[in-house]
Amino acid sequence: MNHIEEEINKICNFAFHYSNLDTLFIDSHSQIKWDYSYHQVPKPLMYFFENMQLRLHLHDDKFSDDILFHSTPYKLSFISAKLFEEQNYIGSIVVGPYLLEEPSALMVRDILLENQLSISLMPIMEQYYMSLPIVGTFKAKNIAEFLGYLAVNMPQAPSKVLSFTDINYNSQREYTLIPDSIKQNNEHSIAHINARYRSEKDMMFAIESGDLEKLEKIMAKEMYFFSKVPDRIPNDPLRSRKNLSFVTNTVLRIAAENGGLHPVYIDSISRNFAIQIEKTTTIQQLTELRNKMYIEYCKAVRKLSIKKYNRVIIKAIDFIRMNLDQNLTLENIASAVESSPFKLSRQFKLETSQSITEYINKLRINESLKLMENENLSITDISQIVGFNDGNYFTKVFKKITGLTPSQYRNGKNK
């Protein structure tokens, strides 16, 4: 490697780390000499997208400016900077592709139609575009200026005032397209994506239904699909997976809500997982946590869903959960749901297989178990916080449900 090649390699390395974009050096003979790339083009799209940098007007005499902003018909953008040794053009540094806006299904569909690509590419195109970085106009300008600075400060580069221009590749005819060529190699990739979406849909339905057995079967058989999603932030895969996990947490919230889980429980579960997601330090921890999220939401729906009950019972359960720390009686619950105490009591027992008192006590004891881990709270404090006015009664109910007295439970947890 001669001195100039070393300098070019160094410049590419600087540009790559500054921009966080794929960075190539393409010499004056259109040969890629240095390649710092994150992104892999999916196989069905290779004919159209692979080495697109080589199709840019890097060496065209019509464009004499030093820094070029390239906008392709596929809404993929690139920035290039020309390098010179004395007065001789030796090639261009190219960074990209990047997007100027958040990709959407509508945007991808328009790209397919405008460029006469098969609509069957829609799923794989969406996945590819979701993997690409988004760069705003201000940041793109900063990157361009940085490339220019590197170019003019290269040894033996001529002293000059940099000029900038935009190149828009408007016509889909810019690159010859052969739609039939995709048919042989896209079926497997598209089938893979469709299978993943079917699995996701089946998993959400299992969670909505509280069907833990079905969920575990799907996860055991098909969770490998979810390891294939491209990283949104390629230079920080952990951050990328965390962001995806936050999205998963939101989707699971919706599935649980559709399954009849009360918003109070949904909020508690979701907040707890959000904290755990942020605390993870490895991708392996995050993978294990995401699997746990699916299971815990499904268990919560299975155990706590009120979807199967009639309207009056749902209203009664809502009232109890929202007023758990208050003095709850059959009479004030019945009044809140506009029913008679006798009718409400009988219907509640019929639908839930437990009395209203038993239901209230179970909820209160479950809440007390969470508070037991706070050593700053006394057992008396805990009993009052969850709605028991009588400490002795709290101890009696606690032992009946857990098999231990509050003190025995707390001492056992602290060992």
Task: Tell me the average pLDDT across 304-316.
Answer: 83
Residue position matching structure tokens 């409400």 = 344
pLDDT greater than 50 at residue 181: no
pLDDT greater than 90 at residue 237: no
Q: Quick: pLDDT tens for 130-156.
A: 888 889 888 999 999 999 888 888 887
Tokens standing for residue 395: 């101890």
Burial class (CB in 10 A: 0-12, 13-18, 19+), 297: buried
Tokens standing for residue 350: 């019929």
Task: Tell me which of 3.30.450, 1.10.357, 3.30.70, 3.10.590 is the CATH number of domain 3-182.
Answer: 3.30.450
Please state the separation of Cα 343 from the chain's center in Å: 47
Cis check for the bond before 97: say yes or no (omega within 30 of 0): yes
Rounded CA gap, 412 and 415, in Å?
A: 5
Task: Tell me the average pLDDT across 232-259.
Answer: 78
* Cβ(42)–Cβ(122) below 8 Å: no
DSSP 99: B
Give backbone dihedrals phi and psi of 85, rounded to 5 degrees, phi first: -110, 105
Domain ranges of the chain: 3-182, 187-304, 311-414
Tokens standing for residue 335: 């009044």
Residue position matching structure tokens 């600075």 = 149
* Cβ(330)–Cβ(344) below 8 Å: yes
Say whether pTM exceeds 0.75: no
Per-residue model confidence (pLDDT) at position 235? 54
Highest mean pLDDT among 114-128, 297-311, 323-337: 323-337
Give the confidence band of 175 by pLDDT, cuts at 50, 70, 90.
very low
Per-residue model confidence (pLDDT) at position 24? 92
What residue ranges in 76-133 does DSSP mark as E strands? Answer: 77-85, 88-98
Tokens standing for residue 255: 């599935």
Task: Tell me the average pLDDT across 34-53.
Answer: 79
* Percentage of the residues of the chain whose pLDDT score is greater than 70: 88
Q: Quick: pLDDT tens for 29-43.
A: 888 888 887 767 877
Task: Tell me the average pLDDT across 302-331.
Answer: 86
* Least confident span in 21-25, 59-63, 354-358, 361-365: 59-63
Rounded CA gap, 108 and 117, in Å?
A: 11
* Cβ(115)–Cβ(172) below 8 Å: yes
Is 3.40.309.10 the CATH number for 311-414? Answer: no
Rounded CA gap, 210 and 261, in Å?
A: 10
